[in-house]
Structure 1
Amino acid sequence: MTKLRLVSALLFTAAFSMASCSEASNRKTETGQSYETEPFSIETKGQFAEPWALALEPGSGRLFITERGGNIQFFDPSNNRLGSVEQGVPEVDYGGQGGLGDFAFAPDYEQTGLIYLSWAEAGDRDTRGAVVGRGKLVCEQPDSCAIDKLTVIWRQTPKVTGRGHYSHRIAFSPDGRYLFISSGERQKQEPAQDISNNLGTIVRLLPDGSPAPDNPFADKGGVSAQIWSYGHRNVLGLQFDSAGQLWDLEHGPAGGDELNLVQKGKNYGWPLVSGGDHYDGKPIPDPSTRPDLQKAAISWTPVIAPGDFIFYSGKLWRDWEGEALIANLKTKSISRISVQDPDNAKELARYSFDNRLRDIIETKDGSLWVIEDGEDGRLLHLTPAK
């Protein structure tokens, strides 16, 4: 993070702390103000350059925000202060959909200080691919942190040309034993059906990055031993529900965005079938033509272009317990989804916002934080409308 950006951020924080949040009007969106969109009261808490991921620090409640260009900032809701990770952030291959990606705290973070990051890494001959690294977060000053000994523990294989469909979302199993990573098919399509590579897959690893020993293709060795499921396109959401089931949220082509219950060894069909068609209009067989392939829990045409999602606890919006809340890019909205029937999920409501939404998290008190997409993406705090 440059000194100029840090100074600007700190000046914003000072201005915000003095701003009155009274007299809020519906849909008022100026930075530092409050507004409402049913059923939320919303406060803006800062602006960020192409933010990609939000992560909630255990214990402190600070929010860490990755910016695709290669910066990491954090916001402390207890005092409205901004800070940054000044050292140890990796060099990223920025461009297209690539750059700095996800941020996750290790299940034992409060004891070890370990964090996980994903990013796009350059390779030879104009190739690139996603990687995940692990290091220790050290915060010796209130407004400044560093990452110590960041080491790459996983790579997309092989690296290919282009700058799309990295996916690289990170999720830990509820028991903390396994690390799951979404690996996009990098807009190459066919590799998603070839388990000799890990493009178009969700991989299941031990926390050190080695393949989990009982993965479905462990007997094949090599990269195949990492794979948990395959036939995926571009997975930008990866979450466990309260029952310990893993779900993914992925982009279709021209139609066919999907929410999937992810199961061991299953084939999710891309590019053999889709709820949408190719961007040039060429048709793709409908999923109903291949009952041997895994069916989506819900599919969207027209697309919502989802960012990340959560399963909500029900603490503040009590009727939403166990439902999925999706931050949408294309529709500039939050979708609320019932997954009570995993084979037939239902969209119950869609709440409109002013801008594209990239990520969403829930904090300990049940309130929501959402980050917008784009060059001046705002951090929004959502509480129940009054």
Structure 2
Amino acid sequence: MTSLCPPARGALLTLCAVSALISLPAAAQSVRPEILTSQLEHPWGLAFIGDGRMLVTERPGRMRTVSADGKLGEPLEGLPKIDAGGQGGLLDVVADSDFARNRTVYFCYSEPASSGSGNSTALASARLSDDARRLEKLKVLFSQKPKYSSDAHFGCRIVEAKDGTLFLTLGDRYKRKDDAQTLGNHHGKVVRVSKDGSVPKDNPFVGRRGALPEIWSYGHRNVQGAALGPDGRLWIHEHGAQGGDEINRPDPGKNYGWPVISWGQDYGGGKIGEGLSEKEGMEQPVHYWTPSIAPSGMSFLRSDKYGRDWQGNLFVGALKFRYLDRIVLRDGKVVREEKLLEDLKQRIRDVREGPDGLLYVLTDSPEGQLIRLLPAR
């Protein structure tokens, strides 16, 4: 089998080559897709709200409930103004860990400037009404600074940490990629805020002159996947340019290199930044993909519904090559990958583990699907 890795440039080649060489064949797949609905317009994020029901966001600016049997509710009332277009719109959504009591949800979106042009990623909280028809008590918890006129690289995945704080991933806004290396803006960052929008006192840059206190880590490109791992740490993946998509575990205050170093190339060829893949003071990824799979969505599987071999595996959607990537980890490293759902030929936008221990997938299309994955017979 031909390796998909770039020419050797460091120790990570071994990991990449192993991953490519021992990918499992399609015949080894062991799930049955059950399509719950095909009536979603570019769905982006998925949250579970009890009784088998889900909230799904549609990028043009709608949020709906979906029942366990796939019945769609009407778009919810009460959303803020959303600057939908290109990669922007209504993006991720998660339910609070105590949703059964407080009915709180968090969502992120491309927020238009209050005056003039420009937009940026914003994070908001709201209460889902008792009849699940509208959002109440809307509060914007965080707005990415500065606003910038672009329809690209919003990032926008939300994770609630074990301590109840919220991680939010932020893209570099494409043409502002150099901002990812400076701390006076939110471009190309992971930020961490409390549920009331305040800054946790133990954030790494609190009190540092010239640094925005919400920043958790920096040097990221466009993070569209995030999840808490079995180790309790935040895991993310981010788009490279032409190759060099990465999986990272962002530690507080660390620099993940973009755009100074990368395992990919610029679009059309040519070096990115310094043309290096490693540099002192910049973190290396857990794993990278070359060629780029255009990853989106990310979930660890905690249940044994698909067998013990799948417990603890990481699942990532591939927009470009249209499959769901099952990733086997050992000691924090990728040792195997399996391509699932290739026969669907759908761009996989999101993947989540439901309260029933099954995986749920969203596909990115004008007739986007919500799919429940059942164990093979």
Q: Paired residue for 1:185, among 155, 164, 172?
A: 172
- Structure-2 separation of matches of 1:125 and 1:302: 39
Does the Cα contact within 8 Å between 1:182 and 1:202 map onto a contact in 2? yes
Q: What runs of 5+ residues in structure 2 fail to find an aligned partner?
A: 1-26
Structure 1 residues 153-187: Cα deviation after superposition (integer angstroms, max 9, x where no partner): 10010011211000111100023x21100011111
Does the Cα contact within 8 Å between 1:256 and 1:299 map onto a contact in 2? yes
Deviating more after overlay: 211-220 vs 83-92? 83-92
Report the 3-state secondary structure (helix = DSSP H, G, I; strand = E; otherwise coil) of the residue aligned with 1:191.
helix
Higher relative contact order structure (alpha carbons within 8 Å, sequence separation ≥ 6): 2
Does the Cα contact within 8 Å between 1:312 and 1:323 map onto a contact in 2? yes
After TM superposition, give the deviation of residue 304 of structure 1 in Å: 0.8
Q: Paired residue for 1:55, among 6, 28, 47?
A: 47
After TM superposition, give the deviation of residue 49 of structure 1 in Å: 0.5
User: What is residue 87 of structure 1 aligned with on the other side?
Assistant: 77
Task: Establish whether residue 294 from structure 1 lines up as the match of residue 309 from structure 2.
Answer: no
Does the Cα contact within 8 Å between 1:206 and 1:212 map onto a contact in 2? yes
Does the Cα contact within 8 Å between 1:315 and 1:365 map onto a contact in 2? no
Give aligned-pair identity as a percent.
35
Map 1:174-323 → 2, pairs under 5 A: 174-175=162-163, 177-187=164-174, 188-220=176-208, 224-284=212-272, 285=274, 288-317=277-306, 318-323=308-313
Report the 3-state secondary structure (helix = DSSP H, G, I; strand = E; otherwise coil) of the residue aligned with 1:111.
helix
Task: Establish whether residue 132 from structure 1 lines up as the match of residue 123 from structure 2.
Answer: yes
After TM superposition, the score normalised by the length of structure 1 is 0.85
- Structure-1 separation of matches of 2:70 and 2:107: 25
Deviating more after overlay: 120-129 vs 285-294? 285-294
Q: What runs of 5+ residues in structure 1 fail to find an aligned partner?
A: 1-35
User: What is residue 361 of structure 1 aligned with on the other side?
Assistant: 352
Q: Alignment length, in residue pairs?
A: 344
After TM superposition, give the deviation of residue 339 of structure 1 in Å: 2.9
Which protein has the bigger strand share?
1
Report the 3-state secondary structure (helix = DSSP H, G, I; strand = E; otherwise coil) of the residue aligned with 1:167.
coil
Does the Cα contact within 8 Å between 1:70 and 1:90 map onto a contact in 2? no
CA RMSD of aligned residues (A): 1.8
After TM superposition, give the deviation of residue 348 of structure 1 in Å: 2.3
Change over 3 Å in CA distance of 1:212–1:108 after alignment to 2 = same
Does the Cα contact within 8 Å between 1:250 and 1:258 map onto a contact in 2? yes
Change over 3 Å in CA distance of 1:111–1:274 after alignment to 2 = same
User: What is residue 71 of structure 1 aligned with on the other side?
Assistant: 62
Does the Cα contact within 8 Å between 1:157 and 1:223 map onto a contact in 2? no
- Structure-1 separation of matches of 2:337 and 2:276: 23
